[in-house]
Amino acid sequence: MSESFEVSRRALLGGAVAFTAATLAPGVVLYARSSDEPATGAVRWGLLIDVNQCKGDCNACVEACNTEFGLVSHGRPDTDPQWVRKVTVTDPETGVSQSFPVMCQHCAHPPCADVCPTGASFRRADGIVLINRHICVGCRYCEMACPYKARNFVHENVTDQKPYAPRGKGTSEACTMCVHRIDEGRIPACVEACAASGRAAMLFGDLNDPNSDIAKRVAAVNSAQIRADLRTDPGVRYQGL
Ligand code: SF4
């Protein structure tokens, strides 16, 4: 179910090319925090992905996400749900290719939320962008507005529902940064799987905390936000891109 995209590195980082790419049980509350503490703007959760540590033939992060959220193939790759996908970019001058995961970038200024007519798409105070599928009407405006092709539409009846992340046919969905795990003090499934694979290409943490590992690394190395020129200010950054 892995999907690979070939895009030029220049287009990815800031060129003219953007990424080209319900029914829920009554009373089910999506993304309820397990903690009594409300999300706070003092925190900004983010990811730093070291592209040099990511191998093209590794899909550990993709598979972990699919398992965590019960995303299964319906045999139609164009519409299969996939919240993390591996992208390959090639430098036309050197011919060198790089492969790395792309998911919702958890933008500080999310176009998906700007265009949502019902308020279903929203950014939590701690930077995690989510969809309230109780009020998502499936208009798919967010999918068109997202420059990162991060949103999926649920075309099929869903199976293997997870109680911490119910899904619904006829709604849009995307990476939640594993908010259900974060609220329990755990790391996202993709980050955990990447570390278990021995590559440790993904680092998760609080970008606002200068003492966090992620903030220290962001301060110490060159990193980039994809399509930074769009000024969405993604919470996902890439090292070595
Ligand atoms: Fe919204 Fe797309 Fe940005 Fe995620 S990457 S916050 S879906 S605009």
Among 107, 176, 177, residue to substitute to test ligand 1 (most atoms within 8 Å of Cβ): 107
pTM: 0.87
Q: What is the pLDDT along the chain (241 residues), one digit of tens a residue?
A: 444 445 566 666 665 434 433 333 333 334 444 556 789 999 999 999 999 999 999 999 999 999 999 999 999 988 999 999 999 999 999 999 999 999 999 999 999 999 999 999 999 999 999 999 899 999 999 999 999 999 999 999 998 899 999 999 999 999 999 999 999 999 999 999 999 999 999 999 999 999 999 999 999 999 999 999 999 999 999 999 9
Tally of CB atoms within 10 A around 52: 12
Could you give all domains of the chain from N- to C-terminal order, each with its CATH number? 6-235 (3.30.70.20)
Q: Is the CB of 141 under 6 A from ligand 1?
A: no
Given a contact cutoff of 8 angstroms between Cβ atoms, the answer to whether 99 and 17 are in contact is no
pLDDT, position 37: 77
Q: Is the CB of 236 under 6 A from ligand 1?
A: no
Q: Is the CB of 151 under 6 A from ligand 1?
A: yes
pLDDT, position 38: 85
Q: Rounded CA gap, 5 and 99, in Å?
A: 9
Q: Is the CB of 133 under 6 A from ligand 1?
A: no
Query: From the alpha carbon of 174, which atom of ligand 1 is closest?
Result: 7
pLDDT, position 20: 36
Atom 8 (ligand 1) nearest CA: 146
**Residue 179 tokens, joined:** 């908010």
Q: Is the CB of 130 under 6 A from ligand 1?
A: no
How far is ligand 1, taken at its centre, from the CA of residue 105, in Å? 6
How far is ligand 1, taken at its centre, from the CA of residue 64, in Å? 21
Question: Residue 163 class from Cβ within 10 Å (0-12 exposed, 13-18 middle, 19+ buried)?
Answer: exposed
